[in-house]
Structure 1
Amino acid sequence: MTDSILEGTGCALHEPFALRVLGDEMEPEFPDGCIIIIEPNDHCPNPSYIFVEVEGVRWFRQYRRDAAGRERLVALNPLYPEIDLTGLEWSVLGVIIQRNVRRRIKHYEYS
């Protein structure tokens, strides 16, 4: 091993990874317990499903930017409020490229 890998700059940081969705915030597209595959990336197309850190808290949400340039994170379940990103410190950790619900796989592509 080299020091750079130990410092967190190894290739693994650039490889897709899987997470399990916990909760109903992104239903019906992403039901509780489904597996999502995230491709590490620091930008997000509009709209896209992203894994993001906002003010030190990590979220899985849909990113949207309107015609006026206002950026927000939206839960697909209308019971949860959207997060207006104006004035907040936030960074994209990755984009969701795949979903697996009981062995049914769906891929997501962004332009």
Structure 2
Amino acid sequence: MSKDCSYNELYPLQVLDDSMEPEFPEKCIIVIEPSEVCATGAYVVAETQGDRWFRQYIADSGTTKRLVALNSDYPEIQLKEGEYKIVGVVVQRNIGRDIKHYHPYVPGGKSPKTIPVN
């Protein structure tokens, strides 16, 4: 019997608002790697209180964890242990033909690479 491996396949999503600007402009494409693990500073898709959010995951010293929008017009979402789940981590952003990769398992999660595709 073969096991279905689709649970760990990358998948794209389109950003539908300005909450993560300027790094992730509205209508850009992000590529998600399904994972429940990430480092502080990673960009994630997370579930809490029945909603899914695309935000930056911040784990401060101690037990404080939160989801932060890059656009300061949006409030932070405090995370309580056992009441949230990281669904996936952003590993790539596509704006037109410009591609940027992210490293969600190291603190800060950012990669300096932006690769133009010709």
Report the TM-score, using the length of structure 2 for normalisation.
Answer: 0.83
Mapping for residues 65-80 of structure 1, pairs under 5 Å: 65-80=59-74
Counting aligned pairs with the same residue, the percent is 50
Structure 1: runs of 5+ lacking an equivalent: none
User: Residue 51 of structure 2 aligns with which residue?
Assistant: 57
User: For 2:30, which of 32, 36, 47 is the aligned residue?
Assistant: 36
Tell me how many residue pairs correspond in the alignment.
105
- Partners of 1:43 and 1:91 in 2: CA distance: 9
- Residue of structure 1 aligned with 2:39, choices 33, 39, 45: 45
Q: Secondary structure at 2:99's aligned position in 1?
A: strand
Between Structure 1 and Structure 2, which shows a larger proportion of strand residues?
Answer: 2
The structure with more helix, counted as a fraction of residues: 1
Task: Please report the RMSD computed on the Cα atoms of aligned residues, expressed in angstroms.
Answer: 1.6
What amino acid maps onto 1:57 in structure 2? D
Structure 1 segments (4+ residues) deviating >3 Å: none
> Which of 5, 9, 13 pairs up with 1:19?
13
3-state SS in 2 of match to 1:47: coil
Give the TM-score normalised by structure 1.
0.88
Quote the Cα distance in structure 2 between the aligned partners of 1:68 and 1:52: 20
Give the Cα separation in 2 of the matches to 1:103 and 1:75.
Answer: 25
